[in-house]
Amino acid sequence: MRALPHRVPRALLAVLCLLTVALVPGCASKAPVPLVVLGPWTGIEGEAFEAALKRLDDGTGRTYTYEGTRSLRETLVSQLEADDPPDVAILNSIGELTEYARRGLLSPLPKKTAERAYPPWAPPLRVDGRRGTYWVPLKVDLKSLVWSRPGAADAARAWCVGLASQATSGWPGTDWIEDILLHQAGPTLYTKWATSRLSWQDPAVRRAWATWARLLGKRTAKSIERSLITSYEGIPGPNGSRGLLNSGFGCAYEHQSAFIRYVYAGDDVRVQPSAGFLGGRAAYRDTYEVAGDMAAVFSADPAAQELVERLSGPTGRALWRAQAAPEARPLFPTRTGPEPTNPIERKIDNVLTSDARALCFDASDVMPPELRDAFHRAVLEFFRDPAEGHLTSLLRQLETVRAQVTEESPADPSFRPPKDLCARPRGPAAAPAPS
């Protein structure tokens, strides 16, 4: 992971520049303070995005500093507490973005940028009685996927599971439960659950947890502990290869988002829709769970708005793709340029832009942070002990958290999460979304 650069607060930079002006005329015009972009990408993903930023000419004469971190929420919260937020932050949580918007920390996006706020990644939000757009998707991912080796026997599935992820361990498990619930119960109930309008003790919710346990099957205590401490990226294999499929665990199938393809660069892997692994229990086979990385403006600097407009448009997309390695090319909510030639990327892109009946945003990334974190912890506990009595206790605890968060939210609709979490793809071949 790329370390965060040392930050000098921009207020201090401005003061330093003013002092320099007294000594060196023209400082303000020759050395404007760089715009700071905070985002989730590190490694080869972060390098590609940073390279695109360096080549981005938006006509403002401004330069950009990118800070990439996997502890995104913690980093942003600390910067906000220090009253030194980034100019632009790229977040994957609608719940957090909603919270920042209702606290007056986000600047509404202008019309040209708001036109790219494609659902379900960027639903409009009502704040202080006004309907507006506060973020726009830059990069999106498809989550309802299973990865395996060609020739793996579907009848004897051994699942690869790695639940560790620094401060947010557990999310690979919540992805599974969300995906199962969507396929079993459909978009309407899924949306009610994700937006805290359905009890965690509802039979459909419990059924999703139980289905995950049945899919995992019998496991040894050793394999359970290994999964709890193993990263979702796996551990290096015998030949230096990465990914859970290469970790020597004797597993053959992995449920993971489209981004994991960069781990399997050059490997002979296949990808399939996850609904096919639920058998007759998947009543909604053509609905898919998606995620995204959305850009929001925390600064009053007009150049920050111009940067987001540029990044979300054709020029920014083309620059980003050109700088990225083939296995790390970003996916977008609408197709940019010709259809991808890589067969896996093409399959995923077709679902995102045309083939799906409905795309539904990641449920835990819609929930208030307190509830989302409790969901992560509950998944880790359930993975260790999936007994029915333990599940009953965990769902009761999650329902308590949901009730507390709901009661603390004011009655004003400005403080409620968006309800439009599912939408059709933007492609012309998309079918009507189910109700």
Cα(372)–Cα(93) distance, rounded to whole angstroms?
10
Closest CA to 159 of 221, 241, 223, 206: 223
What distance, in Å, lies between the first and last C-alpha atoms of the chain?
Answer: 42
**3-state secondary structure at position 70:** coil
Domain 10-24+33-141+291-337: CATH class, spelled out: alpha beta
Contact 204, 314 (CB under 8 A): no
pLDDT under 50: residue ranges of the chain: 1-6, 12, 14-24, 26-29, 412-415, 428-435
Provide the CATH number for the domain formed by 145-289+360-423 in this structure.
3.40.190.10
Six-digit token pair at 278?
Answer: 């639920």
- Residue 182 to residue 135: CA distance in whole angstroms: 25
Question: Does the bond joining 120 to the residue before it have cis omega, within 30 degrees of 0?
Answer: yes
331 in Cβ contact with 349 (< 8 Å): yes
pLDDT at 3: 38
Contact 229, 295 (CB under 8 A): no
List Cβ neighbours of 280 (8 Å cut-off, separation of 6 or more): none
Locate 116 and state its tokens.
Answer: 């790219």
Instruction: Return phi, psi of residue 57, to 5°.
Output: -110, 100
Q: Which pLDDT tens digit goes with each residue over 286-312?
A: 999 999 999 999 999 999 999 999 999
C-beta of residue 233 within 8 angstroms of C-beta of residue 245: no
What is the Cα 75 distance to its own chain's centre? 16
pLDDT in tens, 71-104: 899 999 999 999 999 999 999 999 999 999 989 9
Q: Determine the angle formed by the axes of helices 171-185 and 187-194, rounding to 10 degrees.
A: 140
pLDDT of residue 140: 96
Q: Which amino acid is at 20?
A: T
Dist. CA 330–CA 352, nearest whole Å: 12
Query: CA gyration radius for the chain?
Result: 22
Cis peptide before 86 (omega within 30 of 0): no
pLDDT of amino acid 230: 95
Q: What is the DSSP string of 364-420?
A: TTTS-HHHHHHHHHHHHHHHH---HHHHHHHHHHHHHHHHHHHHHS-SSGGGSPPS-
Amino acid at 353: T
Nearest CA to 88 out of 125, 139, 136 is that of 136
Q: What is the pLDDT of residue 17?
A: 44
106 in Cβ contact with 256 (< 8 Å)? no
Q: Show the tokens assigned to 231.
A: 């990263």
Domain boundaries, the chain: 10-24+33-141+291-337, 145-289+360-423
Predicted TM-score (pTM) of this structure: 0.89
How far apart CA 101 and CA 159 sit, in angstroms, is 39
**Are 10-24+33-141+291-337 and 145-289+360-423 the same fold in CATH?**
yes
The b-or-e profile of 308-337 (16+ CB within 10 A means b, else e) is: bbbbbbeebbebbbebbeebbbbbbbebbe
Q: What is the pLDDT at residue 324?
A: 93
